[in-house]
Structure 1
């Protein structure tokens, strides 16, 4: 298919090259040979009368023209995908579609089991891919790599549709055999006692750590660091340490672990989770079905927790 002299198939190749900035990786991504991708680049350079990609050491750098094209090309491909490939109706029991959700470990722990249960009741052929939150969420939506994002509202962009899902607060978790802590924690105890904390894999501070440092001007007394969100409830057992954990995770853990849950001795702001999808997918009946199931899952989660 051609538009004003340009083979539109070349836009797919251009998008891959602009994103990967590597001919070999772009070729692998599109299941093409490296020579075929190089030929596509030559044709694109001729059409746009611009080098588009320039060698810089071991990587390729985008020319100013390529930088201008990147967003437009992505937008065109997203529009085509959402308009042409979307079926006019969605019948869950007859679908073998795989939904790609960009979710945190927290969301996977507390919400996803309920969502998968609800969806299974209507279709055993629909699949799900739960993507870790280690990439740029806006890019994941714009590229079509993710159908839906579920993350804290501060990260929601102002361009695409979004909807709040549920709130959560924090509790302090201690081992039930910890005799240094009574029915209440004092702020002095909280600041002095070693903590089990969670950091991201790259050791960046979590939202809570950043807020705590900004609010009190001091870091917590850290005794154990883990990247596993569900681990702190287990790691305080047999010790005098404290963990500050999302209430939903802590309450589930308290059903099977020898731990006590205590209110924090400080006013910690709650977090709100939201879901977001690309504006071009608003008329996708399959996605609308999924959004409805996510809403039901959030309600089910609250009912079972309460």
Structure 2
């Protein structure tokens, strides 16, 4: 198919060439020979009147114009994939779709494990890949590399659809035999205690540190940093340390570990968990069905905020 003398089949090749910035790697992904891929690049250069990829030392590098083309080309390909090639009629029970989702281990524990069970009954051939949040999560969503991102509201990406799933509050967790902490935790105790926290990404961004700095002008005395929420309670057992964590996860942990839950000494903002997806798949039938299943389970998750007005 051609549009204004551009062979639209070349757009997929252009997308790969810009991403890989290597004829060899692009050829492998496109299942073409290197000479054929070089020929495609020559045709693209002629159409756009730009080198697109240039030799810099021993490597290829995208030109500024190629980098400008990267996002609109990816948008076109995503739209074609979701709107034109997607089948209007679908059957979840026979679908073999593979979905990639970004979400924290906390959400896997309190929400997505149940989603997986439900979908196994209704769509047994659907498969999933669950990825942890990181520095490139936004880029992966924009590039269409993941289907859904489930994260707190401050991670909502402008220009893409989102839906509130549920709200969550924070509590403090201490070892059951911690004699220094009673039923009520004072602010002074909280400041003086050693804390266990969760850090994300290459810069080890701590999960709630910005809140304390902006509201109270202090940083907690962090003694242990872990990479996921589920290990927080385990690192409290047998120590005088404290962790501030999601109520749902804390209640699950307290059933199996020697822990006590106490209210936070300061009022913390309610955390709102959102489901976010690329706008190009908003009307995709199977994608919409998956979002409906996730929403259904999220409504079934008991809200501690509703239980404690």
Q: TM-score, normalised by structure 1?
A: 0.92
Report the counterpart of residue 84 of structure 2 in structure 1: 84
Cα drift, residue 99 of structure 1: 1.8
State whether structure 2 residue 126 is matched by structure 1 residue 126.
Answer: yes
State whether structure 2 residue 212 is matched by structure 1 residue 198.
Answer: no
User: Structure 1 residues 58, 274: closer, same or farther in 2, change over 3 A?
Assistant: farther
Looking at structure 2, the residues matched to 248 and 24 of structure 1 have their Cα atoms a distance apart, in angstroms, of 49
Cα drift, residue 138 of structure 1: 4.2
Cα drift, residue 243 of structure 1: 0.7
Q: Which moved more, 1:63-72 or 1:45-54?
A: 63-72
Cα displacement string for residues 256-277 of structure 1 (whole angstroms, at most 9, x for unaligned residues):
1110001010111121111122
Looking at structure 1, the residues matched to 173 and 304 of structure 2 have their Cα atoms a distance apart, in angstroms, of 21
Cα drift, residue 156 of structure 1: 1.3
RMSD (Å) for aligned C-alpha atoms: 2.2
User: Structure 1 residues 27, 84: closer, same or farther in 2, change over 3 A?
Assistant: same
Structure 1: where are the runs of 5+ without partners? none
**Secondary structure at the residue paired with 1:199?**
strand
**Secondary structure at the residue paired with 1:92?**
coil
Structure 2: where are the runs of 5+ without partners? none
Report the counterpart of residue 243 of structure 1 in structure 2: 243
Report the counterpart of residue 30 of structure 2 in structure 1: 30
User: Structure 1 residues 171, 28: closer, same or farther in 2, change over 3 A?
Assistant: farther
- The 5-angstrom pairing of residues 244-259 of structure 1 reads 244-259=244-259
Cα displacement string for residues 239-295 of structure 1 (whole angstroms, at most 9, x for unaligned residues):
111011111111111111110001010111121111122222222111111111011
Report the counterpart of residue 155 of structure 1 in structure 2: 155
Cα drift, residue 170 of structure 1: 0.8
Cα drift, residue 62 of structure 1: 2.9
Q: Which moved more, 1:177-186 or 1:64-73?
A: 64-73
Looking at structure 2, the residues matched to 99 and 304 of structure 1 have their Cα atoms a distance apart, in angstroms, of 30
Report the counterpart of residue 223 of structure 2 in structure 1: 223
Number of matched pairs: 306
- The 5-angstrom pairing of residues 177-216 of structure 1 reads 177-216=177-216
Cα drift, residue 89 of structure 1: 1.7
Cα pair 1:233 1:243 within 8 Å, conserved: yes
Looking at structure 2, the residues matched to 257 and 32 of structure 1 have their Cα atoms a distance apart, in angstroms, of 56
Cα drift, residue 59 of structure 1: 4.6
Q: TM-score, normalised by structure 2?
A: 0.91
